[in-house]
A and B are shown apart, each in its own frame.
Chain A
Amino acid sequence: MGSHHLILRVVTKLLVGTIILFALYVQFHGDYSPGGGFQAGVILAVAFIIYGVVFSLQKAKQVFPPWLVHKLVALGVLIYAGTGLVSMILGYEYLNYGAFSPHHPSHGQHWGILIVELGVGVTVTGVMVAIYYAFAARPPRISNEEW
């Protein structure tokens, strides 16, 4: 893949940071405004994918190596399920977030939702980027001129 147009590259460089920032906002502000783990995960993945599209797959893989992506896919589910286990260990029902703050249940709910959404976001990011890597890593059959 040759290098793209200058404007495209500059705009992408500006945008990637903003997209990541917005993804983090959606992730951690999900209790107050629309959005949550699923949306944030997708937006975060888009940041890496656009970087991979405009620059090259190799550069994207340097920033966000595939082994890390594959670990993240599983890590998110583990965070979610682990939250449930911790609340069980603390003597409550599975995924009862009251466990994290026994004297003030709604604080516990805050923590629980935050952690669980983080798990969702991590998994979604991992899966989206992993699928993109998997598709983009295969050698293309048609050349650039044919478009």
Chain B
Amino acid sequence: MLVLTAFAIVRTDRLFATAMLSGMFSLLSALLFVVLDAVDVAFTEAAVGAGISTVLMLGTLALTSRVEKPSNHSPLLPLFVVGMTGAVMIYGTLDMPNFGSADAPAQTHVSPEYLEQSPHEVGVPNVVTAILASYRGYDTLGETAVVFTAGIGVLMLISGLKRRRRRDPDEKGEQA
């Protein structure tokens, strides 16, 4: 179904349908994450991907036109690049350990230590939270700073335009 949705996104040239379909795509991948037992990620995907980014896409859509412009270059080169990247990634997965195998590098390095120690050292039942906020506290601080910077960047880009346009007499009353 993910693949079907992706094809539908590529085929349609109406941007409204594209925005809605990408929301659907996110919701489906959230289901996939639930199946893989990554509930935290599924949460985020459902809320951010299906909820907020669809709203933001529609908000952007209101600022531009409704129909995609017809492209005037040949699709062969992009198709080749995408196909090659996909092939390389599939080739890469051949060397990866099987899903859930116990002797995968990810399971043998620090994870057992975290899993064994976190009930004593942190005492928080949700190990994901324990790792995120306690063992990897610096990283999470960095992530928060990244979110902060992204927000400031968008605000400066969009509100900056507005300030320049405020000289128009009819927009004087409105100020965000």
In the complex, chain A residues 88-142 whose Cβ is within 8 Å of any chain B Cβ: 95, 97, 105-107, 109-110, 112-113, 116-117, 119-120, 123-124, 126-128, 130-138, 140-142
Nearest chain A residue, comparing its CB with the CB of B151: A127
When the two chains form the complex, which single residue of B44, B64, B137, B174 contacts A42, counting CB atoms closer than 8 Å?
B44
Contact B133 A36 (CB under 8 A): yes
Q: Mark B64-89, 1 if CB is under 8 A from A, else 0.
A: 11100000000000000000000000
A119 to chain B: closest residue by CB: B144
By a CB distance below 8 angstroms, the chain B residues around A137 are 162, 174, 176
In the bound assembly, the distance between CA atoms of A76 and B59 in angstroms comes to 26
- Tell me how many residues of A have a C-beta within 8 Å of chain B: 58
Q: Does A3 contact B (CB under 8 A)?
A: no
The answer, yes or no, to whether A81 is at the interface (CB within 8 Å) is yes
Q: Which of B3-11, B102-110, B153-161 contacts the other chain?
A: B153-161
B132 at the interface (CB under 8 A from A): yes
Contact partners of B176 in chain A: CB under 8 A:
61, 66, 133-134, 137
What are the residues of chain A within 8 A of B122 when measuring CB–CB? 106, 109, 113
Contact with A along B114-147 (1 / 0, CB 8 A): 0000001111111011101110011011011101
Residue B91 at the chain A interface, CB threshold 8 Å:
no
**Chain A residues near B52 (CB, 8 Å)?**
42, 45-46, 49, 128, 132
Docked-complex contact B59 and A135, CB < 8 angstroms: yes
Is the Cβ of A74 less than 8 Å from the Cβ of B148?
Answer: yes
How far apart are the CA atoms of A66 and B158 in the complex, in Å? 14
Closest-CB distance, A26 to chain B (whole angstroms): 8
> B144 to nearest A CB, angstroms?
5
Determine if A73 is an interface residue (Cβ-Cβ < 8 Å).
Answer: yes
A39 near B44 with CB under 8 A, answer yes
Query: A-contacting residues of B (Cβ < 8 Å)?
Result: 16, 39-40, 43-44, 47-48, 51-52, 55-56, 59-60, 62-66, 120-126, 128-130, 132-134, 137-138, 140-141, 143-145, 147-148, 150-152, 154-155, 158-159, 162, 174, 176
Which A residues contact B (CB, under 8 angstroms)? 26, 30-36, 38-39, 42-43, 45-46, 49, 53, 61, 66, 70, 73-74, 76-77, 80-81, 84, 95, 97, 105-107, 109-110, 112-113, 116-117, 119-120, 123-124, 126-128, 130-138, 140-142, 146-147
